[in-house]
Amino acid sequence: MKEKEQVKWVSYLFSAPLFQFSNNLSTKPMSASAEMPYFIKPSVNMNSEAKKEAYEIAVAEIDAILNEESNMIMKMATFNCILKTRLPYCYWVGFYIVNDGKLIVGPYQGTLGCLHIDFSKGVCGKTAREQKTQIVGEVHALDQGSEHIACDPNSQSEIVLPVFDKDKRLIAVFDLDSSETYSFDEIDKHYLERLLKTHFEERPLIKAYIQ
Ligand code: SME
C-alpha cells in the first residue's frame, strides 16, 4: 500500500468509529489522541524497581520459550507477546524488517502500524541509519512526518532498537511505544539490547524474510 493510501486508511480506522459511535465526538476534533480500540489499554508507567522485576520475569520467559528455536518470525512474535504482557506501558510493540533497503512492518501487537518506513524518516528510520538505540520521551515534540511518524496518535513516547544478525548486519528495528510520556529509559535499553543480542545475534537464526 502506498504511503498516502495508508494515511487515509489509518485516519479512517481512527476517526470513523469515533464519529459513528461516540456521543461527544461531533464536537471533538481529531488531535494528538484518538479513542482506543476495545483490545488496547492505555499505558501505565512503572518505577525503576517494578520495571526491573518485570524485565527479569520477561527475560526468563523469553529465554525459556525460545530455547532451541531459530525462526526469526517466531522469535519476533514471542518478544512482542511476552513484553506486551509484562510491561503495562507497552502500548504498541513490534518489528520493522529491513527489506530492499527500506523498513517494512513485521510481527507486532497493537493498533495498525505503518506498512513502509523509509530509512530517512521517523525514529525507526533514524535507528536504522545510525544503528543505535533511540529513546524519545515526547514524540509530539519531534517534527511530524520527518523526525517522527505517528502511526497511532495515542503514542507519546517510544524506544527503537537496532536488531543485528551474527554478522552484525542490520536485519530489523524493534519499536516499543507508550501512550504515556517518558515511559522508556536506560533500564529498557539495557534489557532489550541484551535480549536482542542473545536471540538474534548469538543463538541460531533462520530468516524468513528476503532482504
Ligand atoms: N513512530 C515510529 C513509527 C512506527 S509506529 O509508531 C508503530 C517512527 O517514528 O519511526
Q: Please report the pLDDT score of residue 72 as a whole number.
A: 96
User: pLDDT tens, position by position, for the chain (211 residues)?
Assistant: 555 555 445 544 544 333 333 333 333 333 457 889 998 999 999 999 999 999 999 999 999 999 999 999 999 999 999 999 999 999 999 999 999 999 999 999 999 999 999 999 999 999 999 999 999 999 999 999 999 999 999 999 999 999 999 999 999 999 999 999 999 999 999 999 999 999 999 999 999 655 5
Ligand 1: distance of its center to the CA of 14 in Å? 16
Ligand 1, residues 40, 124, 161, 183: which to mutate, most atoms within 8 A of Cβ? 124
pLDDT at 33: 76
Distance, CA of 128 to CA of 124 (rounded, Å): 6
**pLDDT tens per residue, range 76-88:** 999 999 999 999 9
- What is the domain partition of the chain in residue ranges? 33-202
The predicted pLDDT at position 140 comes to: 95
Residue nearest atom 5 in ligand 1 by C-alpha distance:
151
In terms of Cβ atoms closer than 10 Å to its own Cβ (0-12, 13-18, 19+), residue 39 is exposed
CA 151 to ligand 1 center in whole angstroms: 6
Residue of the nearest CA to atom 6 in ligand 1? 151
Please work out whether the CB of residue 199 comes within 6 Å of at least one atom of ligand 1: no
> Look-up: residue for cell 506501558?
89
**What is the length of the chain?**
211
In ligand 1, which atom is closest to the CA atom of 150? 1
Cα 75 to averaged position of ligand 1 atoms, centre (Å): 21
How far apart are alpha carbons 76 and 94 in whole angstroms?
8
Which DSSP symbol is given to 24?
T
Q: Which of 168, 188, 169 is nearest to 178 (CA)?
A: 188
Ligand 1 centroid from CA 68, angstroms: 31
Model confidence, pTM:
0.86
Sign of CA dihedral 98, 71, 192, 47: positive
Q: What is the pLDDT of residue 146?
A: 96
Taking CA atoms only, the protein residue closest to ligand 1 atom 2 is 149
For residue 113, how far is its CA from the centre of ligand 1 (angstroms)? 8
Q: What is the pLDDT of residue 178?
A: 98
CATH of the domain spanning 33-202, picked from 3.40.50.150, 1.20.1250.20, 3.30.450.40, 1.10.10.10 = 3.30.450.40
Measuring CA to CA, which residue among 140, 12, 23, 125 is closest to residue 116? 125
Q: Are 105 and 96 in contact (CB under 8 A)?
A: yes
DSSP conformation class of 154: T
105 lines ligand 1 (CB under 6 A): no
Phi, psi of 93 (to 5 degrees): -140, 130
Q: Does ligand 1 come within 6 angstroms of the Cβ of 188?
A: no
Say if strands 92-99 and 102-109 run parallel, antiparallel, or are unpaired: antiparallel
